[in-house]
Amino acid sequence: MKKLGIYIHIPFCVKKCGYCDFYSVKWDETRENKYIQSAINEIKSYSWLKDKYIVDTIYIGGGTPSIIAPKNLESIIAAARSIFKVEENAELSMEANPNTLNTENLGAYRSVGINRLSIGIQSLNDNILKTIGRIHSANEALEAIDNAGKCGFGNINADVMFNIPGQTIDDISDTLNKLTGKNIKHVSFYSLKLEKGTPMFISEEKKEIVMPDEDEERQMYYAGRNIMEKHNLLQYEISNFAVKGYECRHNLKYWNQEEYIGIGPSAHSFLGNKRFSNPSDLKKYLLSGENGAFDFERDIQEVMGENGLIFEYIMLRLRLTEGLKFADFKNKFSKDFKEIYVEQIKGLLKNNLLEMDDGGIRLTKRGMDLSNYVFAQF
């Protein structure tokens, strides 16, 4: 049977962060309970896949998944298990905000099967947290990590952000040095990009905040990468670092162009050669989902032909430090990569953007800085 990932979008937040453009709405208990039933019904609507796939990853993202009652989280996971065969050692990840975590709900999340926790730390500088509109403090973040360890979580990711207005390399170093002294097995290290329409984007347009320049942004990235690699958090993707064996299996599905379904408003799916998504509209989702009809029209983003699949595969694989393997490419597309892209490879090697051995190609560190240029060559 083929492997399948499930992404479940929890669309609720206590307060939306100033940089966030992911779909979310303000939480209330009535909305939560209605959403849970609709999400369960949507999972059931995919029962036609159950004899074709085995689920090996479930990722619960948001929004703020840790805002919902553990019993409701258990109901969603139980629904997935009732429809699909779920591998015994499947990765079950959940995102969490430090402000919403305590030993009681952490213990409950662990008992319902969550075995990987992704905590939105972002920074351990309270002024920086205030700038980006986070609802937690640095002390709450560190306490959440400690409590997660006490409750049995041995696989913890910390989301850390750089390129924030007012942030310095010393801030980055302080945050990462403190985190690497904790029970952290994975760090997602992201550069802040201001998306149109977000409060921080508007503030920058009004010149109320000033973003770091390009050189400062790169220096923050290099400083963070160096600290993590000194603490055995090894880079395996442009923005992701892990102790060996703790790479995020669900996210690897995206970079390996593997299949997954998305549950909840705004959730994306990839099945066969088709990418599609649910409407970013909770009201529409609840109306359609309460009776299990799901008669809303999913947005078909792309029905991908071979050329599209090949380009996407190259781009996704080159995000990984292990790069693209020639044998994997030939197995997937029945084509010889080196024959098709001989001129592109030659030029990128000459400019020290790629390195190559008998098995495949990968980005150099310079290539990672100029990855969008590299991708455009294919």
The boundaries of the domain holding residue 363 are: 306-376
Q: How confident is the model at residue 232 (pLDDT cuts 50, 70, 90)?
A: very high
The share of the chain scoring above pLDDT 90, in percent, equals 84
Domain containing residue 354: CATH number: 1.10.10.920
Q: Whole-number mean pLDDT of the chain?
A: 93
The reply to whether the predicted model has a pTM over 0.75 is yes
The share of the chain scoring above pLDDT 70, in percent, equals 97
Residue whose C-alpha is closest to residue 237's, from 223, 225, 226: 225
Note whether 145 and 216 are same-domain residues.
yes
- CB atoms under 10 Å from CB of 297, counted, come to 9
Rounded (10°) angle between helices 70-83 and 103-111: 10
Residue pointed to by tokens 């929004």: 63
Note whether 251 and 310 are same-domain residues.
no
- Domain count within the chain: 2
Single residue among 255, 271, 295 that ends a domain in this structure: 255
Note whether 18 and 150 are same-domain residues.
yes
Asked whether residue 294 is domain-assigned, the answer is no
In this prediction, residue 17 carries a pLDDT of: 87
Q: What's the gap between Cα 4 and its chain centre? A: 16
- Residue pair 54/84 in contact (Cβ under 8 Å)? The answer is yes
Close Cβ partners of 92 (under 8 Å, ≥ 6 residues apart): 57, 58, 60, 77, 113, 114, 115, 116
Asked whether residue 29 is domain-assigned, the answer is yes
Of residues 346 and 18, which shows the higher confidence score? 346
Residue pointed to by tokens 């015994």: 88
20-33 pLDDT tens trace: 888 888 888 899 99
Question: 71-80, 187-196, 240-249, 295-304: lowest mean pLDDT where?
Answer: 295-304
Residue pointed to by tokens 């100033």: 18
Note whether 66 and 188 are same-domain residues.
yes
Note whether 114 and 16 are same-domain residues.
yes
Note whether 314 and 232 are same-domain residues.
no
Domain containing residue 24: CATH number: 3.20.20.70
Note whether 216 and 348 are same-domain residues.
no
**Residue 292 pLDDT more than 70?**
no
Distances (CA, A) of 69 to 31, 74, 145, 239: 12, 9, 20, 31
Note whether 322 and 206 are same-domain residues.
no
pLDDT (average), residues 292-296: 63
Distances (CA, A) of 54 to 58, 59, 232, 268, 276: 11, 15, 32, 19, 21
Asked whether residue 301 is domain-assigned, the answer is no
Single residue among 255, 290, 323 that ends a domain in this structure: 255
Asked whether residue 269 is domain-assigned, the answer is no
- CB atoms under 10 Å from CB of 85, counted, come to 15
Q: Which amino acid is at 114?
A: I
Note whether 359 and 218 are same-domain residues.
no
Asked whether residue 298 is domain-assigned, the answer is no
Note whether 70 and 142 are same-domain residues.
yes
Note whether 44 and 176 are same-domain residues.
yes
Note whether 246 and 310 are same-domain residues.
no
Asked whether residue 273 is domain-assigned, the answer is no
Asked whether residue 288 is domain-assigned, the answer is no
Residue whose C-alpha is closest to residue 267's, from 86, 79, 8: 8
Tell me the C-alpha distance between 377 and 362, whole Å.
14
User: What's the burial of 314, exposed, middle or buried (CB within 10 Å: 0-12/13-18/19+)?
Assistant: buried
The torsion angles phi and psi of 271, rounded to 5 degrees, stand at: -130, 130
359: left (phi over 0), alpha (psi -120 to 50) or beta: alpha
Asked whether residue 353 is domain-assigned, the answer is yes
Single residue among 192, 225, 255 that ends a domain in this structure: 255
pLDDT (average), residues 107-127: 96
Residue whose C-alpha is closest to residue 183's, from 161, 137, 160, 152: 152
- Residue pair 59/5 in contact (Cβ under 8 Å)? The answer is yes
In this prediction, residue 293 carries a pLDDT of: 64
- The number of helix segments (H) and strand segments (E) in the chain equals 16, 17
Query: Which residues on adjacent β-strands are paired with residue 118?
Result: 95, 157
- CB atoms under 10 Å from CB of 173, counted, come to 15
46-84 pLDDT tens trace: 999 999 999 999 999 999 999 999 999 999 999 999 999
